[in-house]
Amino acid sequence: MATPRTHPKVRPYVLTGGRTVTRHRLLVHTLVTVPYYDPGLAAAMLPEARTLYEQARDGCSVAELSALSGLSLGVTRVIVSDLAAAQRVRVHAETYGSPFDRRLLERVRDGLRALA
Amino acid sequence: MPHILIVGAGQSGLQLGLNLLAAGMDVTIMSARTPEEIRGGSPTSTQCMFQPALQIERDLGLNFWEEQCPKLTAQRYNLGLPPDGYPDARQTTGEAAPPWLRTEVTPFTRAIRFTGPWEHYTQSVDQRIKMSSWLAEFENRGGTVIYQGVMTSDLDSLTALGRYDLTIVAAGKGELVGLFDRDASRSPYDRPQRALSCIYTRGMTFDPEYQDWAVSFANIAGVGEFFNMPGLTVDGDGMQPCNILLFAGFPEGPLGFHAWRERLSPTEHLDRIVRAMREYVPWEADLAGDIEITDPRPSLIGGYTPTVRHPIGHLPSGGLVLGMGDVVVANDPITGQGANNAAHSAHIYARHIIDNADGRYDEAWMQATFDDYWNYAKHPTVFTNAMLGQEPPEHVGRILAAAQAGHEAGKPVIAARIAYGYTTPSDLGWMLDPDEANKYLAEVAPEFATPAPANP
Find which of B1, B36, B157 to mutate to test the A interface (most A CBs within 10 Å of its CB).
B157
Nearest CA in chain B to A80: B146
**Percent of chain B whose pLDDT exceeds 70:** 96
> In this structure, what CATH number is given to the domain that contains residue A66?
1.10.10
- Kindly identify which residue of chain A lies nearest to residue B30, measuring between CA atoms: A74
The pLDDT confidence band at residue B211, using thresholds 50, 70 and 90, is: confident
Q: Which of A22, A48, A73 sits opposite B161 (nearest CB)?
A: A48
Q: Tell me the shortest Cα–Cα distance from B163 to chain A, in angstroms.
A: 9
- A44 assigned to some structural domain: yes
CB contact under 8 A, B144 and A85: yes
Q: Note whether residue A33 is domain-resident.
A: yes
User: Is position A103 within any domain?
Assistant: yes
Choose among B93, B87, B101, B331: nearest CA to B194.
B331
Cβ of A78 and B161 within 8 Å? yes
> How close A12 comes to chain B (CA, Å)?
11
| Helical packing angle, A47-55 and A73-85, nearest 10° | 80
Per-residue pLDDT tens for B401-455? 999 999 999 999 999 999 999 999 999 999 999 999 999 999 987 777 666 665 5
- The CATH classification number of B3-63+127-188+305-386 equals 3.50.50.60
Q: What is the DSSP letter of B73?
A: E
pLDDT digits (tens, 9 = 90+) for A65-113: 999 999 988 899 999 999 998 999 999 876 666 667 787 788 778 878 8
Report the C-alpha gap between B235 and B232 in whole angstroms. 9
Q: In this complex, which of A22, A73, A77 lies closest to B142 when CB atoms are compared? A: A22
pLDDT interval class at A9 (50, 70, 90) = very low
Q: What is the mean pLDDT of chain A?
A: 77
- The vertex-A87 CA angle with A83 and A91, nearest 5°, equals 75
| pLDDT, greater one: B237 or B86 | B237
My answer on whether omega of the bond before B82 falls inside 30° of 0, hence cis, is: no
Mention every residue, 6+ apart, whose C-beta is less than 8 A from residue A70: A51
Residues contacting B115, CB < 8 A, separation 6+: B74, B75, B76, B77, B210, B214, B407, B412, B415
A9 is a domain residue:
no
Give the nearest partner residue to A74 out of B26, B139, B150, using CB atoms: B150
Q: Which of B34, B139, B163 sits opposite A78 (nearest CB)?
A: B163
What is each CA distance from B210 to B2, B68, B314, B392, in whole angstroms? 52, 20, 53, 27
Going from the C-alpha of B12 to that of each of A77, A78, B281, B361, the distances in angstroms are: 23, 21, 34, 19
| Residues 6 or more apart whose Cβ sits within 8 Å of residue B354 | B20, B23, B25
Q: Answer whether B28 sits within 8 Å of A25, measured CB to CB.
A: no
Domain B72-122+195-302 falls in which CATH fold?
Answer: D-Amino Acid Oxidase; Chain A, domain 2 (3.30.9)
Chain B contact for A72, CB < 8 A? Answer: yes
pLDDT band at residue A10 using 50, 70 and 90 as cut-offs:
very low
**What confidence tens digit (pLDDT) does each residue in B290-320 have?**
999 999 999 999 999 999 999 999 999 999 9
Position B333 confidence tier, pLDDT thresholds 50, 70, 90: very high
Residues of the domain holding A36 = 26-115
Instruction: Give the best residue of A15, A46, A77 to mutate against chain B (max B CB count within 10 A).
Output: A77
* Domain ranges for chain B: 3-63+127-188+305-386, 72-122+195-302, 394-444
Strand duo B109-122 + B72-81: pairing: antiparallel
Pair B351, B324: CB distance under 8 Å = no
CA distance B12 to B21: 14
Looking only at the bridges linking them, the beta strands covering B312-314 and B3-7 are: unpaired
Q: Residue B187 pLDDT > 90, yes or no? A: yes
Whether B37 and B208 have beta carbons less than 8 Å apart is answered as no
Q: Interface of chain B against chain A, CB under 8 Å?
A: 26, 28, 30, 34, 139-140, 142, 144, 146-148, 150-151, 153-155, 157-158, 161, 163
Minimal Cα–Cα distance from A54 to chain B, Å?
19
Question: What is the distance between the alpha carbons of residues B312 and B321, in angstroms, rounded to a whole number?
Answer: 6
What is the spatial distance between Cα B51 and Cα B58, in angstroms, rounded to a whole number? 10
At B259, phi and psi to the nearest 5?
A: -70, -25
Cα B310 from Cα B295, distance rounded (Å):
38
Assigned domain for A64 exists: yes
Flag if B154 and A82 touch (Cβ within 8 Å). no
| Contact at CB, B161 and A75, closer than 8 angstroms | yes
| Residue A1, pLDDT score | 44
Residue B157 has its nearest CB partner, among A17, A75, A81, at A75
Question: Residue A7 falls within a domain, yes or no?
Answer: no
∠B36-B40-B46 over CA atoms, to 5°?
Answer: 115
Give the residue from B138, B148, B151 with the most A CB atoms within 10 Å of its CB, the best one to mutate: B148
Average pLDDT rounded to a whole number, residues B365-375: 98
pLDDT tier, A19 (very low <50, low <70, confident <90, very high otherwise):
very low
Of the residues B151, B161, B175, B321, the best mutation for testing chain A's interface (the one with the most A CB atoms within 10 Å of its CB) is B161
**Which stretch of DSSP H or E encloses residue B292?**
strand B292-293
Total Cβ atoms within 10 A of residue A53: 23
Subunit contact A81:B150, Cβ cutoff 8 A: no
Residue B94: left (phi > 0), alpha (psi -120 to 50), or beta? left
Is A77 close to B148, i.e. CB distance below 8 A? yes
Among candidates B188, B172, B173, B178, which has minimal Cα distance to B156? B178
Q: Report the residue from B26, B142, B147 with minimal CB separation from A25.
A: B147
Instruction: Report ipTM (2 d.p.).
Output: 0.75
pLDDT at residue number A106:
83
Chain CA centroid to CA A19, Å? 13
Count up the domains in chain A and report the number: 1
The answer to whether B219 and B82 have CB atoms below 8 angstroms apart is no
CA B179, CA B152: separation in Å to the nearest integer?
Answer: 8
